[in-house]
Structure 1
């Protein structure tokens, strides 16, 4: 069973939603036909319709070497160059497992103590580095790579083997350095923007090094792309895109993604970038933010329930999440929990989700539920495609270009000025 979308807590809030179906279907067809702003940036879809099995095999072979030789794989990148990989690994890695190399990240912020302690921690370990940057000049990863390159060159005779560059096919500072030093290279495809790149070598190499079955991940997305090709407005991705647009037109401002399992928190962070960068232009788009329930019900749950009624909410849950520990009856019952005897963590979490969705709807918060049948590589691949297609359609409905991010440059220019970067 593919993923499902429950709209029962959204439909009562919508004004004349069926009238939008024709516009959704038209936007969907234009995405399929490449009738979008920057149609060349639909590579994330084209690559799924024409899978490159040789690339998947190459990635798997390099990942096997890393798993065999490395204690740590250091991934250097920012934004789409790390969020997708981190999301998939967080979702599919076994908690508290030490199978395979430790995957660490750098260059995704400018925290001074983090990077200083990182290289102290790496001392004495077998380290591989995967630096991910199309240009090689983005400040945060380029700075981290300066230190990582120096570390590897000082500590290992085979530094050129241990550094792997995922970058532009033909040009750029990182491409040129990789050619000069003889680093192995993987390509950031020209037609795939950073936030859509998790199923390219940008994400696939570190994900494979963590032990995830990247072929199943990729082909899960392939199945999603093939299914949506012949879909009508009743497809879950199109319903989600249309509902979001309709609610935005009705005055809602913010979408909360509420994940019901900590393993899904990284998916939420990836979704946050995908929708924030794709839709947040020209004063348009819902502001995306991710929360983890039930944790955040004890922090901002009060606001969600009774704050300004500008929120919509999408729950992300797993149908077959596993039962976990079972509550046993205790003679003293000092905590008053004997009424839960015989129930498992999984059952209790499921009731918490159902209660929260109902309470929030009653409190005036429209909410969908996206349900994965299982948390495995194939279904995570399907989920990635679900959101990528939905945001492309919703961008078309909004009248914005979902494939650029011009506002990201504003802070960079001011920062470079303050740092004294030459013109």
Structure 2
């Protein structure tokens, strides 16, 4: 694995590395010594990921045996429902390997309906939830069960569960007789679970060479445990810590290798959720490549990292990195580096104190009704605008939001849309970044709630948020619940907006009464705003 770093003042890096070497941070993490993060040693219960590559042999045999069984029964289509750490790693593995793995991690009714309508006769659904009670995963499981039942297929013969021992999902799988159940290790947190059953089972069943990924991770493990400046994870973790101390707290990620396509989304979740708390942290910004907005014209608040082969680039901040290696190396490297960065910054990388707030507000919205007391500030064409705004048109409302962001703050775009059918909405990230003049992130909801959502509420309080909702194209009931997917999706949007506002974060919600025309109108409105600060329009 090759990791190249540059820092503005090498002495800072040398001193911080020396401090962490003296504290034996890498080796203590590898030894599962939780006191490295807290005197109470509670973090010891979250360090099971460090030796996963050496505990995977039996799991790999089980995956291969089940894969043969599915093939013999003509079950060739693998779908996965899971959120955050339960879906991002297998999605990266499948993308890199060029194999089909359908990820169902949305509550958009159209996206869920499309997933269910794809080749049920040959489909297996992998249901992945560490807690066993993840609301999105449970809702999608119920919808698939109803669909299988409607065509005369016993859902249990098509369901595979991945969960921690003793959860509600574990009990349900045993009661109903699922095709297979794989147990996670309770000492492995979701975002650190790439090399656990949560990452390896779905990817392996889809046809990824997961044995090769595990072997690759194992080959680098000893290097990542070294208390030495030769340890690439130690150097990178302290690099992030030094950048953070210099108020350079945004990590802009660009992949340059097809073999690492999509890795940025996994890194985004790991870094944002692990480090974004207590008013501190590193905000990952995933861009399309080194020439994209936010990378090519980065400012002093950003560090730049290329995933893959080196490109010709340089950050005004002086913090540049190239991280080159295959997926197995990347997974374990980033896990160690993130944990080490947490130590350097002074946060516990294994908790997520601000995640529950949005869930609580969403539950309240479901109980009271998502339309209760909700009135737009105004309507403009195919867009309704919600929030405290003085403007009376969409351009003016967006301008007000952009004016609220600090010069070195950021804008978070949260799109509660169909992640596949409306994938083109992602072009709003560079467009907003150009015209607002600050780093801008983009996340589909509710997917981002299990990723950057922790940072939005717990990280640096310099973000403002543009939330996009839309009238549903269809409705799909959640069997056994008193609501449908559209209402659940709306409740999650309203819940996160309420949690953000409670934290003092500005939120503007734009609701598209016609999805296609509304998105076009939103793009035009952003383009009418004169570029701010540094970023210009090409």
| Both structures adopt the same fold (TM-score exceeding 0.5) | yes
The reply on whether 1:42 has 2:47 as its aligned counterpart is: yes
Once the two structures are superposed, residues 219-271 of structure 1 have per-residue CA deviations (whole angstroms, 9 ceiling, x without a partner) of 22122223323451221111100111011101102001111135523211000
Aligned residue among 75, 80, 85 for 1:75? 80
Alignment correspondent of 1:89? 94
SS in 2 for 1:256: strand
Alignment correspondent of 1:5? 3
Alignment correspondent of 1:396? 343
Alignment correspondent of 2:27? 29
Q: Conserved in 2, the CA contact under 8 Å of 1:24 and 1:233? A: no
Alignment correspondent of 1:204? 200
SS in 2 for 1:283: coil
Task: State the TM-score, normalized to the length of structure 1.
Answer: 0.79
Q: Conserved in 2, the CA contact under 8 Å of 1:103 and 1:210? A: yes
Are the structure 2 counterparts of residues 399 and 12 from structure 1 closer, same or farther at C-alpha, using a change threshold of 3 Å?
Answer: closer
Alignment correspondent of 2:176? 181
Distance 2:190 2:111 in 1: 24
SS in 2 for 1:370: strand
The reply on whether 1:66 has 2:70 as its aligned counterpart is: yes
Q: Conserved in 1, the CA contact under 8 Å of 2:254 and 2:289? A: yes
Distance 2:155 2:278 in 1: 46
Distance 1:148 1:385 in 2: 34
Paired residues for 1:231-270 under 5 Å: 231-270=227-266
Once the two structures are superposed, residues 116-174 of structure 1 have per-residue CA deviations (whole angstroms, 9 ceiling, x without a partner) of 22222335x411111001233211111111101222233354532321111121x2221
Aligned residue among 366, 374, 379 for 2:319? 366
Aligned residue among 309, 312, 325 for 2:303? 312
Distance 1:111 1:67 in 2: 31
The reply on whether 1:283 has 2:274 as its aligned counterpart is: no
Distance 1:12 1:248 in 2: 13
SS in 2 for 1:292: coil
Larger helix percent:
1
Q: Shift in Å at residue 281 of structure 1?
A: 0.8
Q: Shift in Å at residue 308 of structure 1?
A: 3.7
Q: Conserved in 1, the CA contact under 8 Å of 2:295 and 2:304? A: no
Once the two structures are superposed, residues 20-40 of structure 1 have per-residue CA deviations (whole angstroms, 9 ceiling, x without a partner) of 122222222332341334111
Q: Conserved in 2, the CA contact under 8 Å of 1:265 and 1:290? A: no
- Give the structure, 1 or 2, with the largest relative contact order (CA under 8 Å, sep 6 or more): 1
Once the two structures are superposed, residues 182-241 of structure 1 have per-residue CA deviations (whole angstroms, 9 ceiling, x without a partner) of 112100211111111111111111111222221121122122223323451221111100
The reply on whether 1:120 has 2:117 as its aligned counterpart is: yes
Alignment correspondent of 2:311? 354
Distance 2:201 2:128 in 1: 10
Q: Tell me, which stretches of 5 or more residues in structure 2 are unaligned?
A: 369-481, 483-538
Task: State the TM-score, normalized to the length of structure 2.
Answer: 0.63
Q: Tell me, which stretches of 5 or more residues in structure 1 are unaligned?
A: 95-101, 319-352, 373-378
Are the structure 2 counterparts of residues 313 and 156 from structure 1 closer, same or farther at C-alpha, using a change threshold of 3 Å?
Answer: farther
Alignment correspondent of 2:155? 159
Q: Conserved in 2, the CA contact under 8 Å of 1:241 and 1:391? A: yes
Aligned residue among 349, 353, 356 for 1:409? 356
Once the two structures are superposed, residues 54-101 of structure 1 have per-residue CA deviations (whole angstroms, 9 ceiling, x without a partner) of 22201121123334522421101000000010011112226xxxxxxx
Alignment correspondent of 2:60? 56
Distance 1:179 1:409 in 2: 28
Distance 2:270 2:191 in 1: 6
The alignment yields a C-alpha RMSD, in angstroms, of: 2.1
Distance 1:418 1:160 in 2: 32
Q: Conserved in 1, the CA contact under 8 Å of 2:26 and 2:225? A: no
Q: Shift in Å at residue 364 of structure 1?
A: 4.2
